[in-house]
């Protein structure tokens, strides 16, 4: 961790990085470098990006005051497509596998001695994500007169969804932590990529014809996307 005047940042080398870039999320500020980038140039690179970094950090703090963070513990609450589900955790010594069930607005998590709450909740959200995304995706491609080849639920750190040239769809389970209209928007966004793979003017015009409020939803993700995580120090899996 390197300390500059107003914020700390960490440095990570990446074999995939083609150029130096900066990520700002709930884990803080990270400078991602290609292997050939000299460390002596990092400080000046960060200083050049300082105004953007500070604006982003300030916006994230403002977002956190508007949306209370999840409290994934016994007696706490977690978000689910705009709802808040109360959490009840039960420890059972004889249980070998964790079990999560929902009844109304209550989520009951049963854990054995070797089960972790974070793993149990994430597994439940991943299962629910497929149940929530699949019908939305099927309906959206039907309206568009298109088709997709397969659906994956993943947990990428920096991507909400993707659509490959072969029609394979991937969605981040953390979208279930956002309001339902945000998930609806992301589905429409990816379905539009079946017709236009890039983010050209043609793509945005197509998306606008299918999703009237796309600008507001896109802005919501930019402003509040960093808060879509269950645990404060959760390290999202790098599924690139």
d(CA 45, CA 240): 25
Task: Give CATH 3.30.2010.10 domain extents, the chain.
Answer: 77-227
Contact 221, 199 (CB under 8 A): no
Q: CA 8 → CA 14, 29, 40, 97, 209, distances in Å?
A: 20, 7, 17, 40, 43
Specify the CATH number for 77-227; select among 3.40.50.720, 3.40.50.10420, 3.30.2010.10, 3.40.50.620.
3.30.2010.10
Residues 6+ apart with CB under 8 A from 149: 166, 167, 168, 169
The pLDDT confidence band at residue 195, using thresholds 50, 70 and 90, is: very high
Helices (H), 67-179: 117-144
Give the pTM. 0.78
d(CA 182, CA 214): 9
The string of pLDDT tens digits covering residues 73-127 is 999 999 999 999 999 999 999 999 999 999 999 999 999 999 999 999 999 999 9
């Amino acid at each position: 961790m390197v300390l500059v005047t107003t914020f700390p940042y960490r440095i990570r080398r990446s074999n995939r990085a083609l150029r130096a870039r900066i990520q700002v999320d709930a884990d803080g500020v990270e400078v991602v470098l290609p292997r050939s980038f000299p460390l002596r140039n990092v400080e000046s690179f960060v200083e050049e990006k300082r105004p953007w970094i500070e604006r982003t950090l300030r916006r994230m703090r403002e977002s956190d005051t508007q949306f209370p963070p999840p409290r994934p513990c016994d007696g706490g609450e977690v978000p689910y497509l705009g709802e808040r589900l109360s959490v009840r955790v039960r420890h059972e010594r004889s249980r070998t596998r964790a079990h999560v069930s929902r009844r109304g607005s209550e989520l009951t998590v049963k854990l054995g001695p070797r089960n972790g709450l974070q793993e149990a909740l994430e597994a439940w959200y991943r299962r629910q994500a497929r149940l929530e995304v699949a019908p939305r995706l099927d309906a959206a491609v039907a309206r568009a007169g298109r088709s997709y080849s397969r659906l994956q639920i993943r947990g990428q750190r920096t991507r909400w969804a993707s659509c490959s040239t072969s029609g394979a769809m991937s969605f981040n389970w953390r979208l279930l932590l956002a309001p339902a209209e945000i998930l609806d928007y992301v589905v429409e966004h990816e379905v539009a990529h079946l017709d236009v793979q890039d983010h050209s003017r043609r793509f945005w015009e197509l998306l606008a014809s299918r999703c009237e409020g796309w600008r507001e939803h896109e802005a919501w993700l930019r402003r509040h996307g960093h808060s879509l995580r269950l645990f404060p120090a959760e390290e999202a899996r790098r599924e690139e």
